[in-house]
Chain A
């Protein structure tokens, strides 16, 4: 796992300053059907490769950010603020990547 997280607001900081929530899935619209909501609440991809996750700079700027990291190589694909995000890469692209 990464030793340093490049917070888009604070720069590189030790990973101990952060907590993680899980996959960076976006909340469906209130009118979405129950299947969509069930997927959002319960179903997660478990890719071998790049994966976007919500991290919280809890002992820093207190911003929620999206951390893109490779679950296989630990390589970092970048970070950005979590406000109004869209998926960085589509789920199908994710699973086909190594």
Chain B
């Protein structure tokens, strides 16, 4: 027989039918159904295939721990693999597909693996596939990967959006069963800020799965009223479909809220899932307890499920899992299921109780005490079970079997911060460790198993926590008709097993695998886990770990406490990468930082390249440019013959002011700034405290106490942080202020012999060579006082050059005026070519190892100053020794030869070896002035080797060319000594 929908009952909306498909076939459920409950209601009990043996599997649970009913949900970019059918709500036109089967769920070729099972025992990976070694990569691994694996990942981009946010509250309640509701009621009524979450669509936890009577009404009505009261309180946030995933330091709890995973068409402007981080004053962990499966042969045939799951399907969803069922238990809890099933017209053939005495039972079902199930019959659906009572065996014809091996508190959250759960001998369960009071387990997670006990425990523990938080809270009360205290159950294990009794359903770890692992020496719980793969599936051993631990303990002859548990780590249930990344994808992953001249460059044919978050024009493509090199060379030659304009707004710009500004700059830079006159600019190095250059740039003195510093583009942020550290930590008494003004100014370099003439036509002041010579800096106005600007007579090209900074918004119009006056736009490629032709350095040369002296700037270092960052280390023996690598120029001997940065320098005739290495090329470029490849290189004792011919060798590119070591100033060599 098959499962079916009862004519009444359940919290589903029978007025709202919902149709969906499973493996291409259409079914109908009701709003409020999960995929699992809807499939059961349609008589579908085969929902998946196991991982290793491809055994037919039905649904085992009705919640987060589901190991079997894993499915692919959705289509296209929304397809999600390994979704638990027990957690997925149905929506119109939901498409679900079974996994791990071929060609179909009903007929799966992989099931032949069952015949191979003697070779697939614990550790089979390590045994079977060891030999021959060469087979691993080409034969074994591809085979295993094809055979294994669950669902398929979506190949298209996910069209939905995901979010991340913070929440703050006094009390976070994880779980809305009796304990959670009581805690939230206590806190909500006391006026505390409460967040209460439940992973299901319906609140109430275990309560709504029962027919208990509370305060004279049904448990379901009681929950509805309590939820309505809580939702009505402005200080309470009630989130269903929300899982508490992880507990972090400072009582921060991560939640995932599934906002639109249960709707057919998610609204595009709302997140489908939100990752919340909750900063909670206190956490009440009312996460409940997980029912333990019993270990017996054939405990995985579709139709066998946990008693609590069967009870949930019955009462929450109005679904009978069978018409003629049996119940196998080692504790009292399953008797309530028996009574409710009988009341719903389901025949309970027998209650098979492992104990010698059963609780009082007035129903029709036979109670077989001192009994156990030793086998089940049926392949894809349960047909019968074999029961052994003493020496007697009998076969009962049943179409479903509920099992209950007692309960394991869901202690995950409390154990995620390196604390292990603690075995409690009385309760025969692992309980949460003492977490120093910031998180309190309440309800069945703390061993208060009956609904009344759980409610009272939640109320008491919340009041205690609230009192500590300074709230005056009253203890809420509820009167449960059933006053029987919940009784803990021991762990039941069979004496022996014939056939396969599964421990871990998803990974197909069975009874004998555990014993084998212990016999082969993998008897530590962490080793046994990895050797058998028990607890390593997507359910992370929620059902299996406890039985595995008990079996290890028995095999080792020690207590369960001695075996202990494996390590608990976040997250409690799987979370998608999309949720974890939140909004940080696409352009939100790396936002575009636009210079004030970004659009201006694009409009003029600029081909942009990313530089950190910035985009800079590589070159400006113009009609007639045959390729990139043509554009670059055209720009270089045009600048050197006339004038060009380049956007240098991305340089870091920091304004430094205050009476101690000069003193501060003297401490930051290795060279002298104190004596810099107003109206002058100076190039300088900042060192790290170990004496190695950190960044370079020019700083200008614009007024008595006003300095304008520039940094390289990449180091704008680090330099500002470094300055803040130096000022705030080292020298807090200095009267100095500084601020980044990088985004406030559009800055342009105007280079070339016509640069002065062009600028003179725009600048109001006299900028002739006599009044504004090299390294001048001053504030000027443009266009008869319309635009304030800062003008610097500095060069990065070897040409007569200026940099002009104007307020960001004026950038494009000033740039237009400069172009109109005769400058051509040039990009960073031409900029780089020209700086290399002149021998100027960048961070390619300041590589974190070279000294100022290695770079040829030894004379710049102040000998006058007592102190500056890096002063006390830069003179160390190793940094001043002979034969260090020094910066030199390097030039290919033949015009057609090419070398690139990273190429090594070797003496002519030397073999390639580490010992023979003379240094390496830091930057290289084809120079249209030299008409050949030039570069800068760090070469051992390089400055004494000018004129030496060397090999420039690069194995990666397969180049090996002859070059000559030369002055860094290629331009001067080519032009016979022209200077800027």
A residues at B contact (CB < 8 Å): 1-4, 12, 14, 19, 21, 27-28, 30-32, 34, 37-38, 40-42, 54, 56, 58, 62-64, 74, 76, 81-85
Q: Are A4 and B250 in contact (CB under 8 A)?
A: yes
Q: Are A82 and B872 in contact (CB under 8 A)?
A: no
Flag whether B394 is at the interface (Cβ < 8 A). no
Q: Are A12 and B279 in contact (CB under 8 A)?
A: yes
Q: How far, in angstroms, from A64 to B730 measured CA to CA in the complex?
A: 11
Q: How far, in angstroms, from A14 to B729 measured CA to CA in the complex?
A: 23
The interface centre, meaning the residue of B417, B728, B871, B876 with most chain A CB atoms within 10 A of its CB, is B728
Q: How far, in angstroms, from A21 to B689 measured CA to CA in the complex?
A: 13
Q: How far, in angstroms, from A32 to B866 measured CA to CA in the complex?
A: 11
Task: Specify which chain A residues have a CB less than 8 angstroms from the CB of B872 in the assembled complex.
Answer: 28, 30, 32, 34, 37
The interface centre, meaning the residue of B249, B724, B866, B871 with most chain A CB atoms within 10 A of its CB, is B249
Which of chain A's residues has its CB closest to B253's CB?
A: A3
5 cross-chain pairs, A with B, having the tightest CB-CB distances, nearest first? A3-B252, A30-B867, A83-B732, A37-B872, A4-B250
Q: How far, in angstroms, from A65 to B790 measured CA to CA in the complex?
A: 35
Q: Are B250 and A64 in contact (CB under 8 A)?
A: no
Flag whether B124 is at the interface (Cβ < 8 A). no
- Which residue in A27, A37, A63 is a CB contact (below 8 Å) of B728? A63
Q: How far, in angstroms, from A34 to B277 measured CA to CA in the complex?
A: 48
Q: Are A56 and B279 in contact (CB under 8 A)?
A: no
What are 7 A-to-B residue pairs whose CB atoms are below 8 Å?
A3-B279, A4-B279, A14-B166, A42-B690, A64-B728, A81-B728, A84-B732
Does more than half of chain B's interface fall in helix, strand or loop, or is it mixed?
A: mixed
Which of chain B's residues has its CB closest to A27's CB?
A: B730
- Which residue in A4, A21, A63 is a CB contact (below 8 Å) of B252? A4
Q: Are B252 and A64 in contact (CB under 8 A)?
A: no
Task: Specify which chain B residues have a CB less than 8 angstroms from the CB of A40 in the assembled complex.
Answer: 689
CB of B195 to closest CB in A, whole Å: 16
CB of A37 to closest CB in B, whole Å: 4
Q: Are A83 and B166 in contact (CB under 8 A)?
A: no
Flag whether B677 is at the interface (Cβ < 8 A). no
Flag whether B469 is at the interface (Cβ < 8 A). no
Task: Specify which chain B residues have a CB less than 8 angstroms from the CB of A28 in the assembled complex.
Answer: 872
Task: Specify which chain B residues have a CB less than 8 angstroms from the CB of A56 in the assembled complex.
Answer: 721, 724-725
Q: How far, in angstroms, from A81 to B866 measured CA to CA in the complex?
A: 27
Flag whether B873 is at the interface (Cβ < 8 A). yes
Task: Specify which chain A residues have a CB less than 8 angstroms from the CB of B279 in the assembled complex.
Answer: 3-4, 12
Q: Are A30 and B873 in contact (CB under 8 A)?
A: no
Q: Are A3 and B250 in contact (CB under 8 A)?
A: yes
Given contacts A3-B279, A82-B725, A82-B728, could you give 13 more A-B pairs where the C-beta distance is less than 8 Å? A3-B249, A3-B277, A4-B279, A19-B721, A21-B725, A27-B729, A40-B689, A56-B724, A56-B725, A64-B728, A82-B729, A84-B732, A85-B729
Q: Are A30 and B724 in contact (CB under 8 A)?
A: no
Task: Specify which chain A residues have a CB less than 8 angstroms from the CB of B248 in the assembled complex.
Answer: 3
Q: Are B250 and A2 in contact (CB under 8 A)?
A: yes
Q: How far, in angstroms, from A62 to B720 measured CA to CA in the complex?
A: 10
Task: Specify which chain B residues have a CB less than 8 angstroms from the CB of A74 in the assembled complex.
Answer: 249, 417
Task: Specify which chain B residues have a CB less than 8 angstroms from the CB of A64 in the assembled complex.
Answer: 724-725, 728-729
Task: Specify which chain B residues have a CB less than 8 angstroms from the CB of A19 in the assembled complex.
Answer: 721
Which of chain A's residues has its CB closest to B254's CB?
A: A3
Q: Are A41 and B725 in contact (CB under 8 A)?
A: no
CB of A40 to closest CB in B, whole Å: 8
Q: How far, in angstroms, from A30 to B249 measured CA to CA in the complex?
A: 40
Task: Specify which chain B residues have a CB less than 8 angstroms from the CB of A41 in the assembled complex.
Answer: 689-690, 873
Question: Interface size class for chain B?
Answer: 20 to 34
- Which residue in B277, B689, B725, B876 is a CB contact (below 8 Å) of A54? B725
B residues at A contact (CB < 8 Å): 166, 248-250, 252, 277, 279, 417, 689-690, 721, 724-725, 728-730, 732, 866-867, 871-873, 876
CB of A33 to closest CB in B, whole Å: 10
Which of chain A's residues has its CB closest to B740's CB?
A: A62
Which of chain A's residues has its CB closest to B730's CB?
A: A27
Q: How far, in angstroms, from A27 to B867 measured CA to CA in the complex?
A: 11
CB of B979 to closest CB in A, whole Å: 37
Q: How far, in angstroms, from A1 to B279 measured CA to CA in the complex?
A: 15
Which of chain B's residues has its CB closest to A3's CB?
A: B252
Q: Are A58 and B728 in contact (CB under 8 A)?
A: no
- Which residue in A3, A12, A30 is a CB contact (below 8 Å) of B871? A30
Q: How far, in angstroms, from A56 to B721 measured CA to CA in the complex?
A: 8
CB of A55 to closest CB in B, whole Å: 11
Task: Specify which chain A residues have a CB less than 8 angstroms from the CB of B689 in the assembled complex.
Answer: 27, 40-41
Q: How far, in angstroms, from A34 to B690 measured CA to CA in the complex?
A: 12
Task: Specify which chain A residues have a CB less than 8 angstroms from the CB of B417 in the assembled complex.
Answer: 74
Task: Specify which chain B residues have a CB less than 8 angstroms from the CB of A38 in the assembled complex.
Answer: 873
Task: Specify which chain B residues have a CB less than 8 angstroms from the CB of A85 in the assembled complex.
Answer: 729
CB of A80 to closest CB in B, whole Å: 12
Q: How far, in angstroms, from A27 to B873 measured CA to CA in the complex?
A: 13
Q: How far, in angstroms, from A76 to B866 measured CA to CA in the complex?
A: 38
Task: Specify which chain A residues have a CB less than 8 angstroms from the CB of B873 in the assembled complex.
Answer: 37-38, 41
Q: How far, in angstroms, from A57 to B732 measured CA to CA in the complex?
A: 17
Task: Specify which chain B residues have a CB less than 8 angstroms from the CB of A21 in the assembled complex.
Answer: 725
Q: How far, in angstroms, from A79 to B249 measured CA to CA in the complex?
A: 16
Q: How far, in angstroms, from A62 to B717 measured CA to CA in the complex?
A: 12
Task: Specify which chain B residues have a CB less than 8 angstroms from the CB of A12 in the assembled complex.
Answer: 250, 279
CB of B500 to closest CB in A, whole Å: 44
Task: Specify which chain A residues have a CB less than 8 angstroms from the CB of B166 in the assembled complex.
Answer: 14
CB of B285 to closest CB in A, whole Å: 17
Task: Specify which chain A residues have a CB less than 8 angstroms from the CB of B871 in the assembled complex.
Answer: 30
Q: How far, in angstroms, from A64 to B732 measured CA to CA in the complex?
A: 11
Q: How far, in angstroms, from A83 to B728 measured CA to CA in the complex?
A: 5
Q: How far, in angstroms, from A95 to B877 measured CA to CA in the complex?
A: 33
Task: Specify which chain B residues have a CB less than 8 angstroms from the CB of A42 in the assembled complex.
Answer: 690
Q: How far, in angstroms, from A33 to B706 measured CA to CA in the complex?
A: 35
Q: How far, in angstroms, from A95 to B829 measured CA to CA in the complex?
A: 54
Task: Specify which chain A residues have a CB less than 8 angstroms from the CB of B730 in the assembled complex.
Answer: 27
Q: How far, in angstroms, from A2 to B250 measured CA to CA in the complex?
A: 6
Given A63-B728, A82-B729, A83-B729, A1-B249 contact (CB < 8 Å): yes
Task: Specify which chain B residues have a CB less than 8 angstroms from the CB of A82 in the assembled complex.
Answer: 725, 728-729
Task: Specify which chain B residues have a CB less than 8 angstroms from the CB of A14 in the assembled complex.
Answer: 166, 277
Q: How far, in angstroms, from A82 to B729 measured CA to CA in the complex?
A: 5
The interface centre, meaning the residue of B166, B689, B729 with most chain A CB atoms within 10 A of its CB, is B729
Which of chain A's residues has its CB closest to B739's CB?
A: A62
Given A2-B250, A62-B724, A30-B866 contact (CB < 8 Å): yes
Which of chain B's residues has its CB closest to A69's CB?
A: B249
Q: How far, in angstroms, from A11 to B729 measured CA to CA in the complex?
A: 20
Q: How far, in angstroms, from A58 to B725 measured CA to CA in the complex?
A: 11
Which of chain A's residues has its CB closest to B728's CB?
A: A64
Q: How far, in angstroms, from A86 to B388 measured CA to CA in the complex?
A: 76
Q: How far, in angstroms, from A88 to B417 measured CA to CA in the complex?
A: 27
CB of B249 to closest CB in A, whole Å: 5
The interface centre, meaning the residue of B166, B724, B730, B872 with most chain A CB atoms within 10 A of its CB, is B872
Q: How far, in angstroms, from A1 to B250 measured CA to CA in the complex?
A: 9
Which of chain A's residues has its CB closest to B720's CB?
A: A62
Q: How far, in angstroms, from A76 to B732 measured CA to CA in the complex?
A: 26
Q: How far, in angstroms, from A21 to B417 measured CA to CA in the complex?
A: 25
Task: Specify which chain A residues have a CB less than 8 angstroms from the CB of B866 in the assembled complex.
Answer: 30-31
CB of A73 to closest CB in B, whole Å: 9
Q: How far, in angstroms, from A82 to B732 measured CA to CA in the complex?
A: 9
CB of B432 to closest CB in A, whole Å: 18
Which of chain B's residues has its CB closest to A38's CB?
A: B873
Q: How far, in angstroms, from A64 to B729 measured CA to CA in the complex?
A: 7
CB of A20 to closest CB in B, whole Å: 11
CB of B723 to closest CB in A, whole Å: 11
Which of chain A's residues has its CB closest to B868's CB?
A: A30
The interface centre, meaning the residue of A3, A40, A81, A84 with most chain B CB atoms within 10 A of its CB, is A3
Q: How far, in angstroms, from A30 to B248 measured CA to CA in the complex?
A: 43
CB of B212 to closest CB in A, whole Å: 39
Q: How far, in angstroms, from A1 to B872 measured CA to CA in the complex?
A: 34
Q: Are A58 and B721 in contact (CB under 8 A)?
A: yes
Task: Specify which chain A residues have a CB less than 8 angstroms from the CB of B725 in the assembled complex.
Answer: 21, 54, 56, 64, 82
Task: Specify which chain A residues have a CB less than 8 angstroms from the CB of B690 in the assembled complex.
Answer: 41-42
- Which residue in B249, B721, B867 is a CB contact (below 8 Å) of A2? B249
